[in-house]
């Protein structure tokens, strides 16, 4: 829209100064700022000293006029030249939806004035409230996990607000609010401004697998807003493989078998499924289980498994280690079982027999040839 500023009382003077902006009609939301870049053109042969004012501005609206980054009261323009001014208008939050008009008033050297009209369309009703949003309100983790939520608190009222921050959480849990890395319990926000808040949630040490809802409130004496955080605890996966008495050693005779009772315990807080039993034994040793898979094992439950270890016939006396393993898709546990090998009784008898045979043979030879 083109506006003409009249300086002087004659028609010739009316064309000396011209105001122009291409965007004289704008649409905005409550609380936003309007910025108009206005060209001021001097078509005369003399310097023009022009002052400006904004009139008919709606109640509670505010404005400023700047040039070259500075607030100005008067603009001097060379002959046949132009300058640019910036008109900034602040639209309050407390405003009704509809069309509003105001005028930019320019006053020349001789007192003559002219105006440039503006039209503003407020696209929606002012909210006058607090807005509290969480980027990702639902999070999931194990019992030993901590949760960090990113929230934004916006003051959409017309006044500065001091918000108290609070949360309701289960016993043993902890909730901490942080702004710019510092822990806070309250925060002050100016009108139409917002602050980013980090909400750190730490579950209780022995929390059970479940879904927990944590209401969070930001409140003042005149306004408040709340959000709900959701923490889904899937439980902690943990497992222990041992024996009924905790002893992880035994002995076996070469060529014989030894039965070992094993206990698989779910020491976590989440159910375990498809637990596979395996063994890593010395070469030529064999290990078998009465069952090599445990279908399900609830939190705190135990399952008994019998392992049979067979030592080879030629095993040399000494200590050997067999490693038992229990594995699920989430967790595993190992137990190193030491086996001491004893020489077979049969081989001992054979050795005694050989010794006796040798002694007997020597006796016969001595008896027969000894007196010659």
Helices (H) and strands (E) in the chain, counts: 2, 30
Instruction: Provide the pLDDT for residue 178.
Output: 97
Instruction: Provide the pLDDT for residue 147.
Output: 96
Instruction: Provide the pLDDT for residue 369.
Output: 65
If you average pLDDT over residues 204-223, what whole number do you get?
Answer: 90
Reported confidence tier of residue 31, pLDDT bands at 50, 70, 90: confident
Q: Say how far apart CA 302 and CA 267 lie, in whole Å.
A: 9
**Cα angle, residue 125 at apex, residues 123 and 129 outer, rounded to 5°:** 130
Average pLDDT over all residues of the chain: 87
Which of 37, 230, 5 is CA-nearest to residue 139? 230
pLDDT tens profile 240-258: 999 999 999 999 999 999 9
More confident: 68 or 356:
68
If you average pLDDT over residues 335-345, what whole number do you get?
Answer: 85
For 23-32, 270-279, 362-371, which range has the lowest pLDDT when averaged over its residues?
362-371
Residue 9 has pLDDT above 50, yes or no: no
Residue 6 has pLDDT above 80, yes or no: no
**Cα angle, residue 305 at apex, residues 301 and 307 outer, rounded to 5°:** 155
Residue 4 has pLDDT above 80, yes or no: no
Tokens of 101: 């008009």
The model's pTM: 0.51
**Cα angle, residue 207 at apex, residues 206 and 209 outer, rounded to 5°:** 130
Taken in order of first residue, the domains within the chain and their CATH numbers are 2-122 (2.60.40.10), 129-233 (2.60.40.10), 239-344 (2.60.40.10)
Residue 92 carries which DSSP code? Answer: P
Which SS3 state, helix, strand or coil, does residue 342 take? strand
Residue 128 has pLDDT above 80, yes or no: no
If you average pLDDT over residues 108-129, what whole number do you get?
Answer: 80
If you average pLDDT over residues 335-360, what whole number do you get?
Answer: 72
Instruction: Provide the pLDDT for residue 361.
Output: 67
Q: Say how far apart CA 327 and CA 318 lie, in whole Å.
A: 29
Of all residues in the chain, what percent are helix, strand and coil, respectively (each to 5)? Answer: 10, 55, 35
Are 235 and 299 in contact by the 8 Å Cβ rule? The answer is: yes
Residue 15 has pLDDT above 70, yes or no: no
What percent of the chain shows pLDDT beyond 90?
Answer: 61
pLDDT tens profile 53-109: 999 999 889 999 999 989 998 999 899 889 999 999 988 877 888 999 999 988 877
Residue 223 has pLDDT above 90, yes or no: no
Are 47 and 74 in contact by the 8 Å Cβ rule? The answer is: no
Instruction: Provide the pLDDT for residue 346.
Output: 54
Instruction: Provide the pLDDT for residue 277.
Output: 96
Specify which of 16-30, 110-124, 163-177 reaches the highest per-range mean pLDDT: 163-177
If you average pLDDT over residues 252-267, what whole number do you get?
Answer: 93
Rg (CA), the chain: 45
């Amino acid at each position: 829209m083109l506006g003409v500023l009249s300086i002087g009382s004659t028609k010739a003077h009316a064309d000396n100064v011209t105001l122009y902006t291409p965007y004289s009609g704008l649409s905005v939301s409550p609380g936003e700022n309007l910025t108009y870049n206005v060209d001021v053109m001097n078509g005369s042969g003399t310097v023009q000293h022009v002052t400006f004012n904004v009139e008919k501005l709606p109640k509670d609206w505010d404005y400023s006029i700047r040039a070259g980054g500075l607030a100005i009261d008067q603009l001097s323009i060379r002959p046949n030249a132009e300058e640019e001014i910036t008109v900034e208008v602040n639209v309050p939050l407390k405003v009704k939806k509809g069309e509003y008009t105001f005028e930019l008033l320019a006053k020349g050297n001789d007192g003559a004035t002219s105006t440039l009209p503006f039209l503003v369309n407020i696209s929606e009703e002012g909210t006058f409230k607090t807005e509290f949003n969480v980027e990702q309100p639902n999070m999931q983790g194990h019992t030993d996990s901590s949760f960090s939520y990113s929230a934004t608190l916006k003051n959409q009222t017309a006044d500065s607000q001091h918000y108290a921050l609070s949360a309701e959480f289960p016993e043993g849990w902890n909730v901490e609010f942080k702004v710019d890395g510092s822990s806070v319990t309250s925060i002050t926000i100016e009108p139409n401004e917002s602050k980013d808040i980090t909400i750190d949630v730490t579950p209780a040490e022995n929390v059970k697998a479940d879904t927990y809802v944590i209401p969070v409130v930001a409140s003042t004496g005149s306004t408040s807003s709340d959000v709900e955080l959701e923490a889904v605890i899937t439980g902690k996966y943990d497992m222990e493989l041992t024996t009924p008495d905790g002893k992880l050693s035994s002995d076996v005779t070469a060529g014989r078998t030894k039965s070992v009772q094993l206990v698989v315990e779910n020491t976590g807080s989440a159910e375990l499924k498809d637990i596979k039993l395996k063994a890593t034994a010395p070469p030529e040793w064999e290990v078998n289980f009465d069952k090599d898979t445990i279908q399900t094992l609830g939190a705190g439950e135990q399952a008994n498994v019998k392992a049979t270890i067979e030592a080879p016939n030629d095993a040399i006396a000494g200590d050997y280690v067999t490693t038992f393993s229990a594995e699920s898709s989430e967790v595993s546990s190992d137990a190193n079982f030491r086996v001491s090998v004893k020489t077979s009784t049969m081989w001992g008898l054979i050795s005694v027999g050989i010794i006796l045979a040798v002694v007997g043979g020597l006796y016969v030879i001595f008896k027969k040839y000894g007196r010659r």
